[in-house]
Structure 1
Amino acid sequence: MSQVAKRYAEALFGLASNQNIIAEVSADLKELSKVVETTPELLSLVNAPKISAEQKKAMLATILVNVNSAVLNTINLLVDKKRINEIAEVAQEFQALAASAQGAAEATVFSTRALTDEERAEISASFAKLVEMEKLDITNVIEPSLIGGIRVQIGNYIYDSTVAAKLDGLKRTLVG
């Protein structure tokens, strides 16, 4: 995570907190992250040196017509400062700040199949205690190579209880 993205996210979070619009901004940033992830051409277009900053901002305002004004102003600032490539990291850092303010942490759970709501709640309750939070906001990533079990990543903390990891450990023990 770059320091620049962190500062922009903190500023946006402060503004959203003061205006009591954290949930709206968070939802807009999640959608924006999906758009950037699925259409990398958008960032290429916005980074094109032949297009002026004003044209870029007008184009983005047309595309992001329903986005909260605080998010749009942040995007415009990133365009002006030639830091629009940082938008995904700004969104990610904002989500972490919002979750922490609500007593929650972001967690990624890798599994061989989609988790049920009951399993998500159980994982959230169990692992939230480990990181001293009230709950976890879980993103489930399906990874068939795990064979079975789950791997939970919360920030820098990783709990790996997958069959693949256990087999790898057994292999190291036997081979030496």
Structure 2
Amino acid sequence: MALSREEIAARYGTALFGYAEDVHNLDAIHAELNELAIALKENPKFVATLSDPILNCKDKEALLTSVERDLSEEVQNFLNMLLDYNRFDVVIEIIAFFNQLYNKAKGVASGTVTTSYQLSSDELSRLSDGYAKKYHLSSVRLENEVDPSIIGGAVLQVGDIVIDGSVKHRLTKIRRQLIDKK
């Protein structure tokens, strides 16, 4: 049975994360992979070329070698392994899964806060710091989304946790309570 892209990303990302921990180079590999992911997203034809089953293996290796010479030995070995096992088409998903494991290990979370108006950077920072402190995280990266329909307040979502402090939500709860009392 064939593995899904998510399963492949989870297996390879977990293996890479474990390897990075074993060689005590987690932070450097993380930083390098993030730069690599940006470059690969900007150049999708590169991934498509290295994933092309018609292209000769030697040509793929030569192309990869010309690009990876500035990368660490660990990342080079990882990329060569993906090429050898015909998994280069999933490289961006693997890096994303690696980043999830990295963020979890470092106590870093990310999410969105939806408000009726654009928050200032100071407000966003205070909200991030408060959430991180409450949930014992080292940091939280929040992005602000504006939705005037929530009327006021905020809806904060980080991972599976949703804190709905919007006026719209409160009005809905009051409405339900009034209807239930009839």
Give the TM-score of the pair, scaled to structure 2. Answer: 0.70
Q: Does 1:105 align with 2:108?
A: yes
Which has the higher Rg, Structure 1 or Structure 2? 2
Residue 138 of structure 1 is matched in structure 2 by 141
Equivalent residue letter for 1:134: L
| C-alpha separation in 2, matches of 1:114 and 1:65 | 43
8 Å CA contact 1:106, 1:136 repeated in 2: yes
Number of matched residues?
Answer: 165
Residue 69 of structure 1 is matched in structure 2 by 73
Q: In the TM superposition, what is the alpha-carbon distance from 1:120 to its structure 2 partner?
A: 4.5
Q: In the TM superposition, what is the alpha-carbon distance from 1:10 to its structure 2 partner?
A: 1.4
8 Å CA contact 1:96, 1:105 repeated in 2: no
Residue 41 of structure 2 is matched in structure 1 by 37
Q: In the TM superposition, what is the alpha-carbon distance from 1:27 to its structure 2 partner?
A: 0.9
Call closer, same or farther: CA 1:86–1:115 in 2, change over 3 Å.
farther
Structure 2 residues not aligned, in runs of 5+: 176-182
Residue 178 of structure 2 is matched in structure 1 by none
5 Å matches for 1:80-99?
80-99=84-103
Alignment RMSD (CA, Å)? 3.2
8 Å CA contact 2:112, 2:145 repeated in 1: no
Call closer, same or farther: CA 1:83–1:6 in 2, change over 3 Å.
same
Give the TM-score of the pair, scaled to structure 1. Answer: 0.72
Structure 1 residues not aligned, in runs of 5+: none
Call closer, same or farther: CA 1:97–1:161 in 2, change over 3 Å.
same
Q: In the TM superposition, what is the alpha-carbon distance from 1:26 to its structure 2 partner?
A: 0.8
